[in-house]
Amino acid sequence: MNTANPDSYYIGNVLRILDERTIIVSAGKSVLCQGAKIQVYEIIDTVKDLDGNDLDVLIHVKDTLDVIQTENNYSICKKMATRPVTFNFSLSPLLESPIEEYVPLNIDKKDIRPLTPRDPLVRVGDPIKIA
């Protein structure tokens, strides 16, 4: 894969939004199979080395969806999420697991340059890639 080429990720576009959970994309059976995952994305910047050469693109993933049906020229995808089951009481201390979390780096805060997506919403025409 040519990592400096943003088209190397692209497999199609969002064609239609059917409801809050379902979209149709322009990648069919030759590219996707049922059970695959796709991501709707936007390219928000270019990653450059210290000499200014393009290395890759920074991608903001708007959403990840499961391919539930493929046809010759399109696929239907749905958003799937797993919700944790919570209890109001502890069943057993053995069932509790330690919490892992990301912690701050030791950095100069002046070097922070956050990434800001132009449009975080999934829209008709947005590019898609394989997750």
What is the spatial distance between Cα 129 and Cα 32, in angstroms, rounded to a whole number? 10
What is the spatial distance between Cα 69 and Cα 28, in angstroms, rounded to a whole number? 9
Give the amino acid at 89.
F
String of DSSP letters for 76-89? EEE----PPP--SS
Residue 86, pLDDT above cutoff 80:
no
- Residues 3-37 have pLDDT tens digits of 445 678 999 999 999 999 999 999 999 999 999 99
CATH superfamily of 6-81+109-130: FlgT, C-terminal domain (2.40.10.410)
What is the spatial distance between Cα 40 and Cα 127, in angstroms, rounded to a whole number? 6
Residue 89, pLDDT above cutoff 70:
no
Domain ranges of the chain: 6-81+109-130
Average pLDDT over residues 72-90: 82
CA nearest to 59, candidates 45, 49, 70, 69: 45
- Residues 90-131 have pLDDT tens digits of 566 556 667 888 888 899 999 998 888 889 999 999 999 999
What is the spatial distance between Cα 125 and Cα 79, in angstroms, rounded to a whole number? 18
CB atoms within 10 A of CB 43: 15
Reported pTM: 0.78
